[in-house]
Chain A
Amino acid sequence: MPLADLFPAIGRRVNNGIWRLGYAARFFLTMLGRSGIAFSRFSLTVKEIYFTGVLSLIVIVVSGLFVGMVLALQGYNTLQRYGSSEALGVLVALSLVRELGPVVSGLLFASRAGSAVTAEIGLMKATEQLSAMEMMAVNPIARVVAPRFWGGVIAMPLLAALFSATGILGGYLIGVVLIGVDEGAFWSQMQSMVDFREDIVNGVIKSLVFGALVSLIAVFEGYDAVPTAEGVSNATTRTVVTSSLVILFADFILTALMFRGS
């Protein structure tokens, strides 16, 4: 591409990005305004919790277990050099509760549930199901979009908590059962160093924010998808890529706000 074309192209992309951001914000507000049905007919939301939460359970639990096990192996190697292998529990718990739990389960949630939601809504649009709903005087944002969004918002913190909990159990399996770190020290050090409000509540807040962001991106990309097979597959890819970047960016912002090193 000649240099003369490069700058207008960048300009167009930025312009387009800002336009989409504004559109997404307007979409978000409309959806919030139309969210009544997601709670007044809660069975609609329960169904989406099933699709986003229950069907993500296995991948979350298995990855949590392995992440915790790897953390324990790596952590033990480093800690025992300084003769403080009893701090293994603290290391595993803090890394999971503060960072890895929310972030990794957010990334898994985006690729497992977010992409599915985008594909589903995109296909409903491509096969005119959303149009048909409108013609039946049913608002698709209230009936289709809002329950999926709230289902994701509710499921995500629970998934992140499960991820952290199974990760800590994985760390316990490797650290205490396999390597033989003292069990009492493992748990008591963890308890004295992990603070409920500072660490656990902040981790839950993170996962709640990630859940809302991923769900919003997923429903927006689906609703905004070009109604063709290619358009839906592009939208699905965009959901995963955008969600992952947004999670990592939001994680940085939230970490900077929460753990300023008191």
Chain B
Amino acid sequence: MPPEDFVSITGLSFAYPGGRQILDRLEMRIAPGQVVAIMGGSGHGKTTILRLIGGQLRPQRGAVRVAGQVVHELNTRQLYLLRRKMGMLFQFGALFTDLSVFENVAFPMREHTALPEALIRDLVLMKLHAVGLRGAAQLMPNELSGGMARRVALARTIALDPQLIMYDEPFTGLDPISLSVIGQLIRRLNDALGASSIIVTHDVISSLKIVDYVYFVSEGKIAAQGTPKEILDSDIPFVRQFVKAEPDGPVPFHYPARDYREELLGPHAAR
């Protein structure tokens, strides 16, 4: 019998009020210790999955189970307790701009624990050391580069040693060096903490190097899944287009429209 999944998603459907269907009967499972990537084009509900796991949104149908608990059935207090086992890295870090790097990392500890100041200081410096930014402790967030801000946010995310770390587009807008630094950190921290990680991304090259398993999401459904090797060798047209970064294919270049010739030359065309 395989080990209990840390996160399991069953029959998950979600639509914003009055909007189109974002997720449609999604199935997904993440085992403890795994790093899983969720890939897909922009606007296909990848970030929505993370928000559903974190309990910031409620699904219309289906359920998300984290550590055996159904997220949307918890009351506020239970949800907040569950969230202490989670960490989430937002797309641009979401550092608190009015607090220094040190205070940002110390924030979850100050809010949730009554540790003495000396211990908080040591813990913060350890977390910052893990992301290589111990020397930047006294800087303010606006003095950091994009890659550094992301690493500080990562240190804050792991401040309370979460069992599940979620990354929302961690590779966006980074230079190649920062890119591989973040990639390495995600893998190393996951293994060091014995946690599970979910990476939402559309950066195929960076993520395939570090993940154990990949889900491709398209139009609210799982379009493909497999290990990185299976994905690279896949002959599913959608996956091939994505991995090879071809502009046209199953994901069309054109937004659905009337026939081009008819629109330009037809009876309604401008004279």
Contact = CB atoms under 8 A, between A and B. Distances in A.
A contacts B: CB pair < 8 Å:
yes
Residue in A124, A129, A132, A139 with the greatest tally of chain B CB atoms within 10 Å = A132
B96 A129 contact: yes
Interface in A128-165: 128-129, 131-132, 134-139, 143
Interface stretch (B21-29, B76-84, B174-182, B204-212): B76-84
A127 B112 contact: no
Contacts of A92: none
A134 B97 CA distance: 16
Given A129-B96, A143-B111, A137 B81 contact: yes
B238 interface: no
Interface residues of B, number: 23
Contacts of A136: 83, 87, 107-108, 111, 156
Given A135-B56, A135-B88, A137-B83, A129 B107 contact: no
Contact of A131 (B56, B84, B86, B112): B56
Nearest to B159: A136
A135 B112 contact: no
Contacts of A120: 98
Contacts, number: 49
A131 B157 CA distance: 13
A127 B56 contact: no
A218 interface: no
A123 interface: yes
A124 B94 CA distance: 8
Contacts of B87: 135-136
A185 B92 CA distance: 65
Contacts of B111: 136-138, 143
Contacts of A123: 97
Interface in B55-76: 56
B195 interface: no
Nearest to A143: B111
Nearest to B95: A129
Interface in B29-73: 54, 56
Contacts of A143: 111
Contacts of B234: none
Nearest to A130: B94
A31 to B, nearest CB: 15
B80 A128 contact: no
Contacts of A128: 90-92, 94
Contacts of B107: 136, 138
Nearest to A51: B98
Contacts of B98: 120
B56 A137 contact: no
Q: Kindly name the residue among A135, A137, A139 whose own CB sees the greatest number of chain B CB atoms within 10 A.
A: A135
Contacts of A139: 80
Interface of B: 54, 56, 80-81, 83-84, 86-88, 90-92, 94-98, 107-108, 111-112, 153, 156
Interface of A: 120, 123-124, 127-129, 131-132, 134-139, 143
